[in-house]
Amino acid sequence: MQTQNKTALVVGANGVIGGNLIDHLLTLDDWHIVGLSRRGGVSTDRVTYISVDLLDPQDTQSKLSNLTGVTHIFYAAFQDRPSWAELVAPNLAMLTNVVDAVEPVARELQHISLMQGYKVYGAHLGPFKTPARESDANHMPPEFNIDQQDFLERRQAGKAWSWSALRPSVVIGYGLGNPMNLAISIAVYAAMSKELGLPLRFPGKPGAYDSLLEMTDAGLLARATLWAATTPECANQAYNITNGDLFRWSEMWPKIAAYFDMETAPPLPMSLATVMDDKEDLWNRMVAEHDLAAHPYRAVSSWAFADGVFGWDYDFFADGSKARRHGFYEFVDTEAMFMAVFDNLRDRKIIP
């Protein structure tokens, strides 16, 4: 028998993170789910999708002010912008608009979960202190993750609800049409290289090939997010969430090549955003020839993000032990995770 006594408002329901969180919530009997995004979705008896532009305060108010039953807000929306400074205003506005609309009417609100990342530690700026810890000092603004957390901390003061913040590394999971999707970037880059008869070349900076880094599986992140949102000890705290193992591309890349039945060749630094820009016709031909699901090239293109990740010629990892000390013990084998997400993309006929 289903006892749906909690209602999750998943903000950013089509995201790499939000979509996988909904998939996890669907495996649990006691959650009703409301998913927000501009694109919306097909509602079912468990998930109600609402199409809303969270940048528009009026639209947000009118579409969300009847959500009186929400007990948990899981915030994982994201607006991309060309510079770090430009990320702040829209991303802070979307969070503010959601909380302004829902908090006053959701009388049973228990928790607001905020999805962050290693930008909190300045990881996007250059070599940062590793392992990064939740207690590390903030860096020079602007930084939207920090402004969002400051907003929640101020808003929570004196309230019955609590907040938590999750800090994953690069998140690996299924998603389409997302600006930050490394898994699909690698898979489509490999498939197109193979189609052109090329070996799989690492396209990043030389120093990036040998640096230490880590990933966060989207399913693991979903389970950790729910854990932090429902464990009293986690109230009003931030947690690094990582797979639990480290790797170097120099070791992982040949394994990825082997998965795609390809040879490797020495790395060659190149901007994927540039060299993949003229490949739409090739993609369309591949979709027809390999009988792939008909997704437009832009839906599988996260090249600028991949360029960013492959440009990290410095160690990129955080200390994940705080979550373990507080009771979240799960880990994921990163090599197996990559192969599983590629299998998933093949099963869905997104890559040959």
Ligand X SMILES: NC(=O)c1ccc[n+]([C@@H]2O[C@H](COP(=O)([O-])OP(=O)(O)OC[C@H]3O[C@@H](n4cnc5c(N)ncnc54)[C@H](OP(=O)(O)O)[C@@H]3O)[C@@H](O)[C@H]2O)c1
Where does this chain bind ligand X (CB under 6 A)? 12-18, 36-39, 52-55, 76-79, 94, 115, 117, 168, 170-171, 175, 178-180
Report the DSSP pairing between strands 6-11 and 72-75: parallel
**How far is Cα 295 from Cα 318, in angstroms, rounded to an integer?**
35
Among residues 219, 271, 221, the alpha carbon closest in space to that of 242 is found at 221
Contacts of 325 (CB under 8 A, 6+ apart): none
Q: How far is the CB of 34 from ligand X (least distance, A)?
A: 13
Q: How far is CA 200 from CA 70, 85, 113, in A?
A: 47, 35, 39
* CA atoms of 18 and 49, how far apart (whole Å): 12
Least CB distance to ligand X at residue 178 (A):
3
Least Cβ distance, residue 215 to ligand X (angstroms): 9
Q: How far is the CB of 154 from ligand X (least distance, A)?
A: 19
Nearer to ligand X, 108 or 139 (CB): 139
Nearer to ligand X, 18 or 203 (CB): 18
Which position has the token pair 């207690």? 135
The CA distance from 33 to 44, in Å, is 10
Determine contact, residues 334/173, Cβ cutoff 8 Å: no
Place of tokens 């009847």: 66
- Closest to ligand X by CB, 171 vs 234, is 171
CA distances to 128, 169, 196, 295 from 183, rounded to whole Å, are 24, 13, 20, 16
Closer residue to ligand X (CB): 53 or 195:
53
CA dist 326 and 320 (Å) reads 11
Structure tokens of 339? 């192969």
**Which residue's Cβ has the minimum distance to ligand X?**
15
> CA–CA separation, 284 vs 289, rounded Å?
9
Shortest Cβ distance from residue 115 to ligand X (Å)?
4
Q: How far is the CB of 175 from ligand X (least distance, A)?
A: 5
Residue with smaller CB distance to ligand X, 50 or 192: 50
CB of 291 to ligand X, least distance (A): 27
Q: Distance (Å, rounded) from C-alpha 35 to C-alpha 68?
A: 15
Which burial class, exposed, middle or buried, applies to 98 when counting CB atoms under 10 A from its CB (0-12, 13-18, 19+)? buried
Smaller CB distance to ligand X: residue 133 or 195? 133
CB of 67 to ligand X, least distance (A): 14
Whole-number Å distance between alpha carbons of 168 and 178: 16
Decide whether 71 or 169 has the Cβ nearer to ligand X.
169
Pick 87 or 106: Cβ nearer ligand X: 87
